[in-house]
Structure 1
Amino acid sequence: MKTMKNWLLTGLLFMIVSTVFSQGKVSGTITDDAGATLPGANVAVKGSTNGTSTDFDGKFTIDVKTSTGELVITYLGYDSKTLKFSVLNGATTNLGAIVLESNSNELSEIVVKSTVVDIAKDRKTPVAVSTIKAAEIQEKLGTQEFPEILRNTPSVYVTKSGGGFGDSRINIRGFDQKNIAVMINGMPVNDMENGSVFWSNWAGLSDVTSAMQVQRGLGSSKLATPSVGGTINIVTRSSDKKEGGSFSSGFGNGRNFKVQGSYNTGKLANGLSASVLLSQTMGDGYINGTQFEGTNYFIALGYATKNNKHDFQFTLTGAPQSHSQRSTVSTIATYQKYGSLSDPNIRYNADAGYLNGEEYNIRKNYYHKPVASFNWDYKINETTKLSTVLYASMGRGAGAGATGGVGGLIYNSPAFLLPNGMVDYDKIQAWNSGQGTVNFNGANQTRTQIGGVYQNSSSTGRTGTSAANYVYNTTSGISQTSSINSHDWFGAVINLNKKLTESLTLDFGLDARTYTGYHFTVVNDLLGGGEFYDNNIASLKPAGRHLTSTYPTEVQWNVFDKKSYDKISFNSTGKVKWLGLFTQLEYSKDNLTVFVQGAASQQGFKREDDFVYLPTDKLASTSYKNIFGGNVKGGANYNINEKNNVYVNAGYYSRQPFFNSVYPNNRSIVNPNLTNEKITGFEAGYGFRSRLFNATVNVYNTTWNDRYLKGNALPSDNTTYTEYLGLNEVHSGIEIEANSNITEKLKVNAMFSYGIWEYKGNATVNAYFQADNSPVTGFTDVPVYMDKVKVGDAAQMTASLGASYEVLTRVTIDANYNFNDKLYAGISPTNFSSPTNKGALELPSYGLVDAGFSYKMLTGKNKDKSVNFRLNVNNLFDKIYIAESRTNIFASDNVTSNAAAGTYASNNRLYKGIADGNQVFFGFGRTWNFTLRYDF
């Protein structure tokens, strides 16, 4: 009996020792549901402290000390997964590809923590959505501009507009970016006066974005945002990003150069964390005379309590920049004149020239818009969360241009152009200083002084309404002036998230903002003149002022410095107060998610003006004009099974008009026809998800009534602008997006969208001069017949097909074809003054091929660092194409008012079927950029 016990004890001990000391390895590759590898995913043996993380290719190998067990795999933004393993002693078990399902559309941890950031979740939130991850932004954007990464998203149209640094613009479903809500970490960033987003002010976002999500249509934001066409949600990196950093350097054509460095501490044991980034970029620009220089800084500081009840994040980011621009929209004939009939000079810039032997451009933008935010996420208990964002932005800067003229000639009139089409600023300087002559009124003229000085002003040197009664003078000159558009903006968003039951969640909160915009003009350069005469201050008329002070076109780094200026032309302050309340109720159980949300806001608009009005005039400082608005929307998503889902949503917005609609023509009288814009949207979609293939199909219809639109200049005069009242539009269409992993190395993606975007009914239009906002004779309350006219400025049919192939380990080539059709010109009122007008001009379709090459070299003892090489070539085949047109001149239109002169077609004045009198911007030709990055 004793012997038997000894044998049993010996056997048991042998089994224990064998178990304890058996060793093996388990390996695998972690990917997302689209097949993309996930570097940095955590892999741990359940019930132990043994763990590792995946390398840059998503691969891992972990030593295990038991023959069987379970691995727990986690990655921020994804559902965790537990897998069983078994391994023989000394052997390796490969688990193959392990797929993690996204729980937040691959966004960073801040999405999980904050209920302020409204991110749509795949197969749950019933909206049309596309997500672009940081890796794709970092890889494919290179030295391009931030909006261009969205080019292959359904119903998105991106152009470089004039081609200056940061001057790109974006449309979603035919709506421009004033009507697209742009959100950064839950903060609305659309200008509170006019809804604008100037991407040059956000040039650094591409460096610090964790992910960007485009929600087409009314979107999932709980705030009463201007998301008529869609919402662009940008989530920046958080301070507790994994420890590490990177250094990169990139360059491209046009002497484009960029250098960047960043470092993240990771979350320290004491709960503190920090992330910093600094980058610098500069270049000559692709378009002639568009030199630029920009800086980007980003600082994030964080603290989390040990019990994870409180999480604090402070973020400060800014991108001070200055860049020369191409603001003048030339005709096709002009591009051909300085190129050839078949090969127009698409880089031509009618604003660029030379002064004192150096390149000079009177058109320039310089701005600094730092944004600081403080996020506090408070987990009150297991069912209640409070998220708060406090933010502030102080924008300082301006856009520089030309003021005045010479005998009615502006700075880039033919009299001031060199044979190559560049502006001869030396000639302007010579005229201004009385040293040269200019031919106008049929003869060479010499400048004369006023009061013993060469006096510049806003006068063009010609008065009268037509050639028959023009009166010329020889006293006027040309100056460079800047329209300052600075602001102080403070806001808060507070959201309480309460889980009422396992399936029912209630959100409600507050959105409060206050905004003060400062608008005035200053003199930058008299260009040889002796003084500037301004007679726009009501209290100083008729004597006016004689000014000699000038101010440089330089970025103001210290935004707290209240500079003192001699202001000219106009000086007004716009104040906007916003108070909003919002709520959302969401039901989510099993395969069904349903939500309903509503928001209400009151906006107050106040205008102050001490130029137009005497200090004693009550209009010098108006009271607030308060306008109520809001929205209600709802939707449902149903997951039919693990692969198929369907959704529907609908919503209604009553949106307050912009500031310049409340106080039109920069005067302090409230628009008597003031009305809210009304937007109604309906949408339905179907999704399919599988290991090898994903697809989404959406159909939508958006009706937009009582739209107020500030439109293009009159075709005959770029110094004007137009305003439309009472426009109605209907936008409907279909969108398809798909991607597939054909093999482990070959991935394919595609999209297709087709829209029918038309005006409905008729409207009225007014035209004004940009210099002083005075009405253009003959263009006041002019009826325009817009019914069934196509909405312009964005392609109504887009498609793309792309593929990437890993030819060798970590060596990848990729290419993408993007096609644009049904692209119409921007509306011009002269074309729609008759009920029998020809509609909007359709521009030629075009397709572009982009290509790239990537190589990742693993370095370091544990191969956890890498050197990355990336080459992008955009518009590979150097396609020449028209990206946008400001005018609607048809081939069948007469060249002049004299019908006997014939049409553009009969005079062979067509380019690809388009009349060469149209004012257009061509897209860029072939461009390239190369980036070298070290990640550690």
Structure 2
Amino acid sequence: MKKVFLILSALFTSSVVIYSQQKADSLKVVKLEEVVVSATRAGADAPIAYSDLSEGQIKQDNAAKNIPFILQTLPSVVSYGEGGTAVGNTSFRIRGTDANRINITLNGMPLNNPESQEVYWVNLPDLSNSLQSMQVQRGVGTSTNGTASFGASISMQTLGGRPKAYADISSAYGQYNTFLLSGAAGTGILKNGFSLDARYSAIKSDGYIRNGKVDHKNIYAALSHYSDKQLIRLIYMNGIQHTGITWWGIDPEMVKKDRRYNPAGEYTDDNDKTRYYDNDTDNYYSNIGQLIYTRYLSNSLTLNINLSYNNGYGYYENYLTGETFANYGLSNQVENGKIYENSDLILRKLMKNNFYVGGANVEYNKDKFKISAGSMFTYYDGEHYGRILWIKHNENIPYGYQWNRNTAVKQDVNAFLKAEYRPIENLSLFAEVQDRYIDYRMKGLDDDLIDLTNKNYYNFINPQGGLSYRFSKYNEIYGSVGISNREPLRADLKESLKKGVSRSIKPERLYDYEFGYKYANSIVAFSANYYYMDYKDQLVQTGRLNEVGYKLQENVPDSYRTGIELSLAYTPTYWLRMDGNITFSRNKIKNYTAYYRQYDMDENEVEQATEFFKSTDISFSPNTVGSFILTFKPFEKEEFSLSFANKYIGRMYYDNTSNPDNRLSDYLVTDMVASYTLDAKKIGKFDFQFYINNMASIKYNSNAWVSTSVLTDGTKTVYKGVFPQAGANLMGRVRYRF
């Protein structure tokens, strides 16, 4: 009851969402446009760098691709995958900003996991085919809901009712036994105002690297009701993912011998033969329910109320070798009179969580003014625990022995106010402020039996202001200044409590300055955006991994990112279109101290060793990122197109020491898509697509990690893992729609 009361309190004490109407002539009803995303999106004249993607653009070249790879040709985006392809565990960075700093909303409601502050796209398989639009904002942006927009934000809107009934069925098959089947259908808006939309998809693949297997399923359903003045929509999404563990990476020396090697599940049997545990897997079950209510209160006042519930349950299973019993709170085991301190074992790490969201927004829009206000409350409870399924040397340990459990509760309340004012026709002024309060509590034992009990409270004020000026029909300039604050992640907080860590984890703050110019007419569109992102106590990666491959972080007092983003779209004739963008940046930490675990000559851990750098590059932040897309449509009246998408990523370090030994080489990858649409008139349309990914079969690594430890005599031990990507690979897709 307490949870329900808090959600209802937030709803009735809150009050923004832009609203529009559109006539559905064939049905003679008024279709209310989805307005729930407006609080998280930038308008046409917002002083912000952003990119919009329509439903057609999202689906155009998408065959078995996770969202990070759909976005890979946008400015300043670096996408990467663990398994070597665009399915399985994938992620991205924007301006070098990690995915756990990117605010993600779905229909205006937060999607980031409150503890990791990241969206794991593998848990939402084939989500892209349920979307009707996306907006990617770079910098602080305008996002006012959910986790901090700390460098970028993405607003996604799912499919809603369409004027007429439809069906959409597609199937794709490619190398590595990659198979996609997707089917969608909708009633259209009926005379009584109701519409029902549903979709099912399944993806399977062996993956590029060994054990990179994928078995995913997704269900989406939306029931909507439209009337003259309101929209009510109920949405359900279900995701089931089974994926081979791929997060360990591969030692660079092993990559030279076998690019498809994966150490996950590897062990040596009693005959000294190398074996692999087949069930080294990551598994997750996701259920998301959303209720959206949008209504005109008057000609100039609109209301939007959102409720959301996310339920997740998952586990990963590992075969581990030479594990010490004491690390699991167990005594040494005796078998046939022999005492064993270590043993091979199979463990299962489990988690389950509930995430409740309630929010409301109102907007007043009249003449020169647009004022929005709203608030949102979220409540999260989560559990993490571990069980041992099998032990090689086992005297008396029961099956499913649980050695740890820890829980967390996180409450987040925010309120915001936005205002836009046009004193003259060509000038738009914008300001917003958000107040965000967080109460985050953990208790229980971590995997290594360390007590995690602690309480954390944060209160952040996040203001932003800017202006845009259109000084001719095609030209616009803009500028903005924004501040964003962000709390540490669960992984960083819990690791800061442990032995050998001498530094506490602090929240981080970003001062973001953006200045830009836009030019657009019917033939050419050009934009230039300069940014300076000044950080206080930015959390940067140490290179050390936790048990699930997350790169642990530490605060650095003074760091910055600065760069210029250039974009160009040019359509000189009906048969040719060119799209390109490039980012040149500089990403630095000032007065950086690297910390290393240090051991004495008897391998006992002692006080950490340090190394000082006056100025060094921020890890995973290439100075040059660019893309270029060339699209041909040789026949004016036939729907055939040939597209070449090129993505360039400059060299980037994967630690913060600017050590050339810890640097990924630059790479340029080209993908080709050939598409043809056959219009069968009365029965619908057939789409045929053929893909060649990485046409030139470039051998490159998209991501990496490094961990360094030091002996007291100065000797360094370095462990590395890189993530090689697949060479040239083919895929074909057939789609039918009406």
| TM-score, normalization by structure 1 | 0.68
Tell me, yes or no, if the aligned pair for 1:724 and 1:764 is still in contact at 8 Å: no
Distance of aligned partners of 1:927 and 1:243 in 2 relative to their CA distance in 1, 3 Å threshold: same
Give the corresponding residue for 1:278. 200
1:633 corresponds, among 443, 464, 476, to: 464
Q: 1:289 to 1:403 in 2, by over 3 A?
A: closer
1:790 aligns with 2:617: yes
Residues 184 and 672 of structure 1: CA distance in aligned 2, closer, same or farther (over 3 Å): same
Matched, 1:923 2:725: yes
Which residue among 499, 511, 526 is the counterpart of 1:680?
511
1-structure distance, mates of 2:309, 2:663: 43
Alpha carbons 1:629, 1:676 under 8 Å: kept: no
The higher radius of gyration belongs to: 1
Mind listing any 5+ residue stretches in structure 2 that lack a counterpart?
A: 1-21
Look up the match of 1:332: 252
- In structure 2, the CA distance between the partners of 1:303 and 1:720, relative to structure 1 (3 Å rule), is closer
Report the residue type matching 1:605 in the other structure. Y
Tell me what 2:677 maps to. Answer: 856
Q: CA deviation at 1:866?
A: 0.1
Counterparts of 1:851 and 1:529 in 2: how far apart (Å)? 53
Distance 1:296 1:768 in 2: 46
- 2-side partners of 1:766 and 1:730: how far apart? 23
Counterpart in 2 of 1:80? none
Query: Matches of 1:728 and 1:302 in 2, distance apart?
Result: 49
User: How far does residue 136 in structure 1 lie from its aligned partner after superposition?
Assistant: 2.5
Choose which of 572, 589, 611 in structure 2 pairs with 1:742: 572
Following TM superposition, by how much is the alpha carbon of 1:787 offset from its aligned partner in structure 2, in angstroms?
3.8
Cα distance, 1:241 vs structure 2: 6.0
Kept in 1: contact 2:556–2:589 (CA 8 A): no
SS at match of 2:118: coil
Is 1:151 the equivalent of 2:64? no
Q: Deviation per CA, 1:769-822, whole angstroms, max 9, x where unpaired? A: 9xxxxxx95575554424421112243201222111123311111112222213
Asked if structure 1 preserves the Cα contact closer than 8 Å seen for 2:529 and 2:566, the reply is yes
Of 239-248 and 191-200, more deviation after overlay is shown by 239-248
| Aligned-partner Cα distance in 1 for 2:397–2:549 | 24
1:665 Cα shift? 4.5
The answer as to whether partners of 1:116 and 1:494 remain within 8 angstroms in 2 is: no
Cα distance in 2 for partners of 1:788, 1:224 equals 34
- Residues 200, 917 of structure 1: CA spacing in aligned structure 2 closer, same or farther, 3 A cutoff? closer
Cα 1:367–1:291 change in 2 (3 A) is same
* Preserved contact between residue 581 and residue 599 of structure 1 (Cα < 8 Å): yes
Aligned residue among 104, 110, 114 for 1:192: 114
Aligned to 1:811: 640
Structure 1's 917 and 659: CA in aligned 2 closer, same or farther, altered over 3 A?
closer
How far off its partner does 1:492 sit? 1.3
Residue from 329, 353, 358 that aligns with 1:492: 358
CA drift at 1:655: 2.6
Counterparts of 1:665 and 1:401, CA distance in 2: 25
**2:708 pairs with 1:708:** no
Residue aligned with 2:435, SS: strand
Measure the CA separation in 2 of the matches of 1:380 and 1:720: 47
In 2: Cα distance, 1:764 partner to 1:145 partner: 35
Report the counterpart of residue 432 of structure 2 in structure 1: 597
Conservation of the 8 A alpha-carbon contact between 1:680 and 1:702: yes
Distance 1:525 1:261, change over 3 A: farther
Residue 178 of structure 1 aligns to a residue whose secondary structure is: helix
Shift, 1:126, TM fit: 1.3
For 1:232, the equivalent position in structure 2 comes to 154
**Distance (Å, rounded) in 2 between the aligned partners of 1:693 and 1:287:** 42
- Please point out which of 412, 430, 442 is paired with 1:578: 412
Q: 2:280 maps to what in 1?
A: 363
Q: Is the alpha carbon distance of 1:767 and 1:931 closer, same or farther for their aligned partners in structure 2, counting shifts above 3 Å?
A: farther
Map of 1:560 onto structure 2: none
Overall identity of the aligned pairs, in %:
19
CA distance in 1, matches of 2:604, 2:534: 33
Kept after mapping to 2: 8 A contact 1:825/1:840: no
Figure out how many residues of one structure are paired with residues of the other and give that number. 695
Give the structure 2 partner of residue 201 of structure 1.
123
1:725 corresponding residue in structure 2: 555
Shift of 1:640: 1.4
Could you say which structure has the greater relative contact order, defined with CA pairs below 8 angstroms and 6 or more residues apart?
A: 2
Q: Read off the aligned partner of 2:135 and give its amino acid letter.
A: Q
Gaps of 5+ in 1: 1-41, 53-74, 77-108, 338-344, 411-447, 456-472, 532-545, 551-565, 770-775, 890-895, 900-915
For 1:547 and 1:299, how far apart are their aligned partners in 2? 45
Q: Which moved more, 1:593-602 or 1:805-814?
A: 805-814
1:255 corresponds in structure 2 to 177
Find the counterpart in structure 2 of residue 350 from structure 1.
Answer: 263
Decide whether the 8 Å contact of 1:751 with 1:799 is kept in 2.
yes
Please give the alpha-carbon distance, in whole angstroms, between the structure 2 residues aligned to 1:387 and 1:762: 46
Residues 290-310 of structure 1: CA distance to partner in whole angstroms, max 9, x if unpaired? 2220101001011122x32x2
Q: Name which of 398, 420, 440 aligns with 1:548.
A: 398
Deviations 1:525-553 (A, max 9, x none): 44x5546xxxxxxxxxxxxxx54324xxx
Contact between 2:64 and 2:126, CA under 8 Å: does it hold in 1? no
Give the superposition deviation at 1:922.
1.9
Partner of 1:222: 144
How many angstroms apart in 1 are the aligned matches of 2:484 and 2:539? 15
- Aligned amino acid, residue 927 of structure 1: N
* 1:517 correspondence with 2:346: no
Counterpart for residue 395 of structure 1 = 312
Say whether 1:871 aligns with 2:684.
no
Q: Which is richer in strand?
A: 2
Higher mean C-alpha deviation, range 385-394 or range 280-289: 280-289
Give the aligned partner of residue 468 of structure 1.
Answer: none
Among 221, 224, 230, the residue aligned to 1:302:
224
SS in 2 for 1:141: coil
**Cα contact 1:840–1:888 (8 A) shared by 2:** no
User: Residue 267 in 1 paired to residue 189 in 2?
Assistant: yes
Paired with 1:128 and 1:280, the residues of 2 have a C-alpha distance of 35
8 Å CA contact retained: 2:492, 2:553: no
Cα offset, 1:720, TM superposition: 10
Aligned 1:889-904 pairs, distance under 5 A: none
Give me the whole-angstrom Cα distance separating, in 2, the residues matched to 1:631 and 1:162: 38
Judging changes above 3 Å, is the alpha-carbon distance between structure 1 residues 255 and 373 closer, same or farther for their aligned structure 2 residues? same
Shift of 1:225: 3.6
Deviations 1:211-235 (A, max 9, x none): 2221110112133642222111111
Q: Which residue type is aligned with residue 438 of structure 2? A: Q
Q: Deviations over 1:582-601 (max 9, x none)?
A: 11111135222211000111
The 2-side partners of 1:876 and 1:209 are apart by 28
Separation of aligned partners in 2, 1:204 and 1:329: 24
Could you say if the C-alpha distance between residues 585 and 719 of structure 1 is closer, same or farther in structure 2, counting changes exceeding 3 Å? Answer: closer
